[in-house]
């Protein structure tokens, strides 16, 4: 049996004490243990940012990409070998800002991977500038007069673009988060888990307590995840109350099942036959 | 005896100019003749001016034609653009209609007698394409009518044309075949007894030659290299590379995926390559700009990557459908800081096939990016070549497989002991694939230690940069030195020096200059130097070869990029340069004239 500690490594952690990422990482390890996936059988693909560093602080195969490009690299890797179990760790800036086009394309392709977005509503690694999910009016050192764009809504965008799995977790609700990640990993297709994550150093508005006071579990009020219209309504709710949980899930055909040559076997597993190749020229 | 005939067919986009050209080329091919065909068109789908320039010969061709021996003017614009440069014995096939005819299908842009004013040739054959096409059974056959007429003046036996039409339209059924044969016959008969004064010996001939473009050769080179994944974003003149592999999906295990942008295309290629599947993406300069960060992460993570850059004039959108060689210094230096990479610039379709194979081999052997430089001219010209499809039975992958992973005790015992970036004498670290055994493969674009952990240690940074750069010595030795040809050691000798696609026109110019009276009178001798494997440049070996030679750089850019590179690497300064930046390909006579001009 795989244990969460099998994912521990001895590389020095570089997050600030109290950062929400610790809890996200813990939930990841527990999920992988419960799914009995050993670290050598998982491929992390991550972007640039504090969230993107997560796989450095644990065991597993890893491609730590350029800022914003994790989904594109993950897409290529998954097409090459769709047996790979790929988890992408990204940030709100990384995924919704720099990599926004890849986010939309990944939803449409329905690449069978799990995307965890460490959404702290701020650029952590570059010391606190506004991110695409920062609240309108939020003051930062560089946005002195407050953020002047309205925030990006990842769940509404995903649902509006046809995503087959969309969930929101909160690092402060580790049990729920673990279950959401598990469901995402088990989902056949593109699975988004947007994770509310307090940044203790740079986001003084959306603190742990701020989220605690607002989040509620939509499953506990009986939300049916097959109800798209309701899911979209919930995705638009943000303020005094913030819904978390599995917003939407539908059965879908993942990208590799839409491609003829990938029906029966992985691309990498085909043998090369020079004679056969020459014969079709 | 060598016979060359250049046929130029001009008209609006959408008039099927390319269809006529390819029909001509196919019949020539079936007669064992050689062709070199270029399409010149604007970045639009209908209207404007476009032409096909088909050069036909009974011997191998290495360069395009220029002044037409036979001009086929489908519209007035073609006539007006060409009449002043025609040769006195050029033959003009003029699409002329009686415009006072009350016929509704009159082609308004067809020519009239007024368009002939100032024409350097009075060899004019007038035909009415639309009228003949209608007589044959449909306006749609106007192209076939034109082809029939051209074949008549070339002296091609009608049966050879007929045979091809039957083959070509077989899938479309009897009635389409007959319609086209009738149309071809109409055109053929319209030529009457007019024949161009140079004639080939036409008879059906079996050859194992092929007519192929650089783009297709690149695509097939990739397939021959076991490339299985082609992520791309459309951009002229690079799309043809990917288009050429599409017909093989279903027959070979390949995936062609249109990415959301070039950044995605290159990163998808990198992801697949990391996971163990050979991948290639293709773009032009503008798309390459977007790929530069991808080049950097491929270099930093030491992930093999092959990119085709099919060049066009820039900057920015530039001339989308035209040719140039403006990206050389860019691709050699693209992305921040410094890292080893290969840059190969084949000169012909057959060389392209080989260069692509070599790029895959080298990219995986050294775990560095490899870039193949094409351009619109090389990518789109259709050229007769000896069949070059040599596919090796196996391709060498330079990947640790399950067996050699197990054989290495330390690796199988503890997953933690595998070091993706182990320091070795060659700089090349044994590469394993993710999730393939019980080891863990960890790579990152941050500076890292041997295990792939982020490291900001000063000494480590130096060691890792040195490790990556230490591959260079061996990489240089993989590069073929340039081809250097001259009749004999002589005083007053000048070397036409180029790279990539200008190879053919340069060699043809050299052949002309060898016999040139003006050159002889002035006691000037010529040779040529052609670079194919460009980067990394083996300056130590190159220097003695070119040290005392006078180089005349022949390039399609405004800043003499190869000349600059030679100077940068060897300290040798080129003598002069012939730079053509109008977006149109080199032709031999242009280089000849400029060379003589330059030396005087
Ligand atoms: C091309 C590029 N642009 C900018 C940066 C600088 N940069 C690093 S992380 C980051 C923002 C990260 O924000 P987010 O994705 O929200 O991650 P967080 O640190 O908050 O987890 C930026 C702008 C970079 N590394 N690369
Ligand atoms: S800056 Fe914020 S996101 Fe980054 S480690 Fe510190 S608390 Fe976490
Ligand atoms: Mg953030």
Helix A21-34 and helix A174-186: axis angle, to 10°?
A: 50
Give the integer Cα–Cα distance in Å for A169 and A174: 8
Q: Do B270 and A60 touch (CB under 8 A)?
A: no
Q: Is the pLDDT of residue B244 over 90?
A: yes
Higher-pLDDT residue of B483 and B12 is B483
Place of tokens 């100077």: B567
Cβ-Cβ contacts under 8 Å for A189 (sequence gap 6 or more): A110, A111, A112, A164, A165, A252, A253, A254
Mean pLDDT of A74-88: 98
Mean pLDDT of A5-31: 97
Instruction: Quote the Cα angle for B476-B479-B485, to 5°.
Output: 130
SS (H, E, C) B122-149: CCEEEECHHHHHHHHCCHHHHHHHHHHH
Give the integer Cα–Cα distance in Å for B491 and B525: 8
Helices (H) and strands (E) in chain B, counts: 22, 21
Q: Does the predicted model carry a pTM greater than 0.90?
A: yes
B405 touches chain A (CB under 8 A): no
pLDDT averaged over chain B?
A: 94
Q: Which residues pair with A242 in a beta bridge?
A: A215
Per CB-CB distance under 8 Å, the chain B contacts of A64 are 442-446, 454
Mean pLDDT of A156-162: 98
Number of CB atoms found within 10 A of residue B596's CB:
16
Shortest CB distance from B271 goes to which of A74, A261, A272?
A74
For residue B407, the model assigns a pLDDT of 65
Shortest CB distance from B269 goes to which of A76, A260, A278?
A76
Give me the percent of chain B exceeding a pLDDT of 70.
97
Q: Where are chain A's structural domains?
A: 4-280
Structural class in CATH, domain B211-386 = alpha beta
The number of the ligand 2 atom at minimal distance from the alpha carbon of A15 is 5
Q: Do B5 and B70 contact (CB within 8 A), yes or no?
A: yes
Q: Is the pLDDT of residue B409 over 70?
A: no
| CATH label, A4-280, candidates 3.50.50.60, 3.60.15.10, 3.40.50.970, 1.10.230.10 | 3.40.50.970
Q: Which residues pair with A252 in a beta bridge?
A: none
Q: Would residue B595 be called left, alpha or beta, if left means φ above 0 and alpha means ψ between -120 and 50 degrees? A: alpha
Residue A209 φ/ψ, nearest 5 degrees: -65, -40
Ligand sitting nearest the alpha carbon of A53: 1
Do domains B4-190 and B483-599 share one topology? The answer is: no
Protein residue with least CA distance to atom 4, ligand 2: A124
Residue B275: pLDDT band (50, 70, 90) is very high
Q: Which residues pair with A91 in a beta bridge?
A: A118
Instruction: Quote the Cα angle for A2-A190-A150, to 5°.
Output: 115
A12 touches chain B (CB under 8 A): no
Residue range A186-218, pLDDT digits in tens? 999 999 999 999 999 999 999 999 999 999 999
For residue B108, the model assigns a pLDDT of 80
Q: Rounded to an integer, what is the distance from CA A162 to the centroid of its chain? A: 16
Sheet-wide strand order for B550-555 = B483-485, B525-531, B493-499, B550-555, B576-579
Distances B344 to A58, B42, B120, B278, B499 between C-alpha atoms, Å? 40, 28, 43, 18, 10
Residue B470 φ/ψ, nearest 5 degrees: -70, -10
- DSSP per residue, B286-327: HHHHHHHHHHHHHHHHT--EEEEEEE-S-STT--TTS-----
User: What is the whole-number distance in angstroms between the Cα of residue A125 and the centre of ligand 2?
Assistant: 7
Structural class in CATH, domain B483-599 = alpha beta
Give the integer Cα–Cα distance in Å for B505 and B450: 49
Strands B34-40 and B47-57, bridge-based pairing: antiparallel
Q: Would residue B384 be called left, alpha or beta, if left means φ above 0 and alpha means ψ between -120 and 50 degrees? A: beta
Q: Where are chain B's structural domains?
A: 4-190, 211-386, 483-599
Residue range B65-106, pLDDT digits in tens? 999 999 999 999 999 999 999 999 999 999 998 766 656 567
For residue B102, the model assigns a pLDDT of 59
For residue A58, the model assigns a pLDDT of 98
Q: State the burial class of residue A236 (Cβ atoms within 10 Å of its Cβ: 0-12, 13-18, 19+).
A: exposed
Q: Do A277 and B224 touch (CB under 8 A)?
A: yes
For residue B104, the model assigns a pLDDT of 58
Q: Do B599 and B591 contact (CB within 8 A), yes or no?
A: no
Give the integer Cα–Cα distance in Å for B271 and A81: 10
Q: Do B263 and A262 touch (CB under 8 A)?
A: no
CATH T-level topology, domain B4-190: Pyruvate-ferredoxin Oxidoreductase; domain 3 (3.40.920)
Helix A70-80 and helix A100-109: axis angle, to 10°?
A: 30
Higher-pLDDT residue of B418 and A42 is A42
Give me the percent of chain A exceeding a pLDDT of 90.
100
Q: Do A69 and B460 contact (CB within 8 A), yes or no?
A: no
Q: State the burial class of residue B466 (Cβ atoms within 10 Å of its Cβ: 0-12, 13-18, 19+).
A: exposed
Residue B16: pLDDT band (50, 70, 90) is confident
Taking alpha carbons only, the member of B398, B332, B336 closest to residue B362 is: B398
Alpha helices in B387-527 (DSSP H): 402-407, 409-413, 458-469, 472-477, 503-515, 517-521
Per CB-CB distance under 8 Å, the chain A contacts of B301 are 63
Q: Which residues pair with A118 in a beta bridge?
A: A91, A195
Shortest CB distance from B253 goes to which of A83, A85, A270?
A270
Residue range A36-48, pLDDT digits in tens? 999 999 999 999 9
Structural Rg of chain A based on CA atoms? 19
């Amino acid at each position: 049996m795989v244990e969460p500690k099998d994912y521990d490594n001895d590389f020095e952690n570089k997050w600030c004490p109290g950062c929400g990422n610790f809890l996200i990482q813990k939930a990841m390890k527990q999920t992988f243990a419960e799914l009995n996936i050993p670290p050598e059988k998982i491929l992390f693909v991550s972007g640039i940012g504090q969230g993107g560093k997560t796989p450095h602080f644990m065991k597993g195969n890893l491609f730590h990409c350029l800022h914003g490009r994790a989904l594109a690299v993950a897409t290529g890797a998954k097409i090459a070998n769709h047996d790979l179990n790929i988890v992408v760790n990204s940030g709100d800036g990384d995924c919704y800002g720099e990599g926004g086009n890849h986010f939309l394309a990944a939803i449409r392709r329905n690449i069978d991977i799990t995307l965890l977005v460490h959404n702290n509503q701020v650029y952590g690694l570059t010391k606190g500038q506004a991110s695409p999910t920062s609240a309108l009016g939020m003051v930062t050192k560089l946005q002195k007069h407050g953020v002047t764009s309205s925030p990006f809504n990842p769940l509404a965008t995903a649902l509006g673009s046809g995503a087959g799995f969309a969930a929101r977790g909160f690092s402060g609700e580790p049990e729920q988060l673990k279950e959401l990640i598990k469901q995402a990993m088990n989902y056949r297709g593109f699975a988004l888990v947007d994770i509310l994550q307090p940044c203790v150093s740079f986001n003084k508005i959306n603190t742990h307590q701020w989220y605690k006071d607002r989040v509620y579990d939509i499953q506990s009020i009986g939300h049916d995840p097959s109800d798209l219209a309701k899911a979209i309504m919930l995705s638009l709710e943000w303020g005094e109350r913030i819904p978390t949980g599995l917003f939407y899930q539908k059965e879908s055909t993942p990208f590799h099942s839409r491609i003829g040559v990938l029906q029966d076997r992985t691309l990498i597993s085909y043998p090369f036959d020079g004679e056969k190749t020459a014969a079709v020229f | 005896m060598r016979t060359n005939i250049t046929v130029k067919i001009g008209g609006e986009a959408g008039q099927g100019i390319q269809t006529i050209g390819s029909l001509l080329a196919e019949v020539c091919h079936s007669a064992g003749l050689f062709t070199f065909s270029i399409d010149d068109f604007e970045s639009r789908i209908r209207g404007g001016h476009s032409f096909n320039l088909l050069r036909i010969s009974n011997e191998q061709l290495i360069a395009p034609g220029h002044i037409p021996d036979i001009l086929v003017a489908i519209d007035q614009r073609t006539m007006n653009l060409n009449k002043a440069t025609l040769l006195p014995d050029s033959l003009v096939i003029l699409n002329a209609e009686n415009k006072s005819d009350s016929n509704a299908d009159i082609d308004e842009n067809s020519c009239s007698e007024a368009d002939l004013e100032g024409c350097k040739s009075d060899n004019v054959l007038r035909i009415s394409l639309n009228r003949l096409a209608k007589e044959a059974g449909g306006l749609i056959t106007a192209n076939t009518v034109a082809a029939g007429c051209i074949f008549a003046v070339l002296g091609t036996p009608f049966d050879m044309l007929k045979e091809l039409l039957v083959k070509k339209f077989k899938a479309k059924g009897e009635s389409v075949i007959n319609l086209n044969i009738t149309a071809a016959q109409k055109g053929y008969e319209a030529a009457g007894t007019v024949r161009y004064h140079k004639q080939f010996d036409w008879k059906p001939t079996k050859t194992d030659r092929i007519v192929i473009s650089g783009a297709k050769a690149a695509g097939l080179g990739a397939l021959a290299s076991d490339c299985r994944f082609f992520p791309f974003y459309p951009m002229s003149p690079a799309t043809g590379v990917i288009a050429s592999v599409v017909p093989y999906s279903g027959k070979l295990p390949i995936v062609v995926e249109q990415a959301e942008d070039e950044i995605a295309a290159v990163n998808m290629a990198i992801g697949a390559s990391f996971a163990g599947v050979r991948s290639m993406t293709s773009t032009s300069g503008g798309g390459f700009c977007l790929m530069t960060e991808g080049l950097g992460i491929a270099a930093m993570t030491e992930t093999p990557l092959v990119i085709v850059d099919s060049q066009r004039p820039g900057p920015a959108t530039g001339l989308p459908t035209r040719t140039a060689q403006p990206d050389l210094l860019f691709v050699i230096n693209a992305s921040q800081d410094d890292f080893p990479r290969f840059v190969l610039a084949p000169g012909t379709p057959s060389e392209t096939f080989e260069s692509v194979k070599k790029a895959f081999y080298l990219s995986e052997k050294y775990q560095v990016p490899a870039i193949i430089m094409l351009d619109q001219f090389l990518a789109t010209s259709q050229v007769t070549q000896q069949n070059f499809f040599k596919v090796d039975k196996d391709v060498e992958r330079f990947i640790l497989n399950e067996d050699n992973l197990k054989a290495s005790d330390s690796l199988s015992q503890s997953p933690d002991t595998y070091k993706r970036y182990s320091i070795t004498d060659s700089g090349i670290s044994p590469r394993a694939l993710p999730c393939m055994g019980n080891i863990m493969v960890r790579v990152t674009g941050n500076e890292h230690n041997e295990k792939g952990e982020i490291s900001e240690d000063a000494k480590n940074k130096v060691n890792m940069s040195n490790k990556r750069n230490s591959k260079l010595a061996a990489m240089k030795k993989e590069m073929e030195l340039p081809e250097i040809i001259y009749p004999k050691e002589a005083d007053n000798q000048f070397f036409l020096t180029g790279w990539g696609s200008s190879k053919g026109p340069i060699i043809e110019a050299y052949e002309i200059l060898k016999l040139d009276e003006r050159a002889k009178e002035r006691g000037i001798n010529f040779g040529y130097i052609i670079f194919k494997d460009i980067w990394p440049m083996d300056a130590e070996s190159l220097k003695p070869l070119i040290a005392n030679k006078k180089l005349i750089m022949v390039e399609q850019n405004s800043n003499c990029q190869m000349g600059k590179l030679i100077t940068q690497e060897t300290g040798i300064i080129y003598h002069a340069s012939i730079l053509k930046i109008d977006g149109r390909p080199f032709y031999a006579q242009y280089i000849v004239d400029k060379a003589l001009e330059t030396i005087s």
